[in-house]
Amino acid sequence: MIESGHGSSRGPVSSQRRGGRVDKLIDIKNVRHAYQTQDGRLPVLDGLDISVPEGGFVAVVGPSGCGKSTLTKLIAGLMKPDEGEVWLHGKRVTSPRSTVGMAFQNPVMLEWRTILKNVMLPLEIVASKMSRREQEERARYLLALVGLEGFEDKRPSELSGGMRQRASLCRALVHQPDVLILDEPFGALDAFTREDLWQTMHQVKAKEPFTCVLITHDLRESIFLADQVVVLSQRPARTQYVLDVPDTGPRDLDHLYTPEAAEMLNILRHQIEVAQGRAPAQPEADEVPEPPPGSTAQGMV
């Protein structure tokens, strides 16, 4: 769960233990990072603390350019933080490791490969001892799971944006990573396709459990998919607010139209406005962000 970062946390911060699971599969401790630009140092992360239990699903939201994508690169080990530590499964992350799967807003399919071969790509690198046939079976299984059965031998250019994103999801999961990092994967899709994919995410998670960090701009997406939503402040980013979503596990779209969902969206929207500096930090009396009913952690399946 999320811990407070050096007095930066203004929202309710919870820290619970869950029996039987790794409590902190991802543990980000007081991470600071800055980029060197032509205009000097540009701090992007300033004391970030996030931890995700095994099987957890954390959505990270925040104003544009607040350093969310930097966060994904730190977890993936593509970058090292200037200060602070990133731990994955009890090991400190200092370089890329094969236990991570990534998907981006741009599905980056390799156009010269078929969909099946695209999905098999990570296996060629991390699971070379797996036989070709096993690799293919694994890829076909995942493609069927996301509803792409029959498209295995198509080229990416023959698929729609939503289908490419489904294939990209399969590629991120094919090597059974400990951690799935999704960097605005549904951002470029139309609203209906996006909602379809949200439901697919729940279906996939039921069959192929994963621990996930989702970067998103879509508040509805965050409460529909995640167990916990983390709001980051304006750059340089700190953990500003943490929201526990009461209904973990598979949900259907009706959940987005309940009073509880409206309440959560309200809170999150207010927090984003705070992060952008467009609203005072102290919410109005009737908006006090007490955790919505049932926010105690439930088993996640």
Task: Tell me how far, at minimum, the Cβ of 73 lies from another protein, in Å.
Answer: 8
64, 125, 129, 293: residue in contact with another protein (rule CB under 8 A): 125
Scanning residues 34 to 73, which ones bind another protein (CB under 8 A)? 73
Residue 21 binds another protein, judged by CB under 8 A: no
Scanning residues 129 to 188, which ones bind another protein (CB under 8 A)? 155, 157, 171, 175
13, 78, 265, 279: residue in contact with another protein (rule CB under 8 A): 78
Q: What is the maximal distance between C-alpha atoms in the chain?
A: 61
110, 206, 262, 301: residue in contact with another protein (rule CB under 8 A): 110
Report residue 30: phi and psi, to 5°: 45, 55
Strand partners, 101: 180
Residue 128 binds another protein, judged by CB under 8 A: no
96, 209, 294, 299: residue in contact with another protein (rule CB under 8 A): 96
d(CA 251, CA 209): 15
User: How far is CA 228 from each of CA 133, 192, 284, rounded to the nearest angstrom?
Assistant: 38, 24, 23
Residue 81 binds another protein, judged by CB under 8 A: no
Burial environment of residue 77 by CB neighbours within 10 A (0 to 12, 13 to 18, 19 or more):
middle
Which range in 97-105, 185-193, 206-214, 276-284 contacts another protein by CB under 8 A?
A: 97-105
Question: What H or E segment, with its residue span, contains residue 27?
Answer: strand 26-37
* Residue 115 exposure: Cα atoms within 13 Å on the Cβ side: 28
d(CA 134, CA 152): 15
Task: Tell me how far, at minimum, the Cβ of 114 lies from another protein, in Å.
Answer: 10
What does the binding site for another protein look like in residue numbers (CB under 8 A)?
Answer: 73, 76-78, 95-98, 100, 102, 104, 106, 108, 110-112, 121-122, 124-126, 155, 157, 171, 175
